[in-house]
Amino acid sequence: MVLAEVTRRGLMTSLFPLVPLFRRSSALTAQTVVDWNGDLIGYFLPGDPFLIQDNNRGLIGRCVQMEGENGCCWQCFLEGSDREVARLERGHLRFASDVSFQLKLLVLAAMARVMGQPRHGRILLHVRIQKDILT
């Protein structure tokens, strides 16, 4: 998978790119997620919560940082149903049993992005690929 930075631009920024009065100070930086075939499979909007969008920019999930009994963890929820589909805890990423392969790839890429942020330091992300994940 490939991640690329994309800055959301407003109409005024597109029309007047050199005029600082029209620039939005809170521009959201989206990241595109492209699979091995070069097909766009989704977008990320890093932040708190970390948002996951499909290739039509529809919100499909959000990952939030939570404090648990074992320390800090990240939980990913489906938008609309608020069902937990994945949890990153102490470097281990676990998925719910009925999550699609494409959503697993998006969540895996999102968690790799989250763990790569400077504030998380050198925490390792362990992913165990099981036979049932690939089917």
d(CA 8, CA 1): 21
The two tokens of residue 134 are 């690939």
Q: Give tens-digit pLDDT for 91-124.
A: 889 999 999 988 898 899 888 888 776 654 444 4
- For 96-135, the DSSP string reads -TT--HHHHHHHHHHHHHHHTSGGGTT---B----GGG--
The pLDDT of residue 27 is 52
Count of structural domains, the chain: 1
For 75, 123, 132, the CA distances from 88, given in Å and listed in that order, are: 6, 12, 19
What band does 18 get if pLDDT is binned at 50, 70 and 90?
very low
Instruction: Give CA separation, 96 vs 27, 28, 31, 54, 100, in Å.
Output: 33, 30, 25, 19, 10
Question: What is this structure's pTM?
Answer: 0.66
Q: pLDDT per residue over 29-42, tens digit each?
A: 888 988 888 889 89
Q: How confident is the model at residue 14 (pLDDT cuts 50, 70, 90)?
A: very low
Find the domain containing 92 and state its range: 2-133
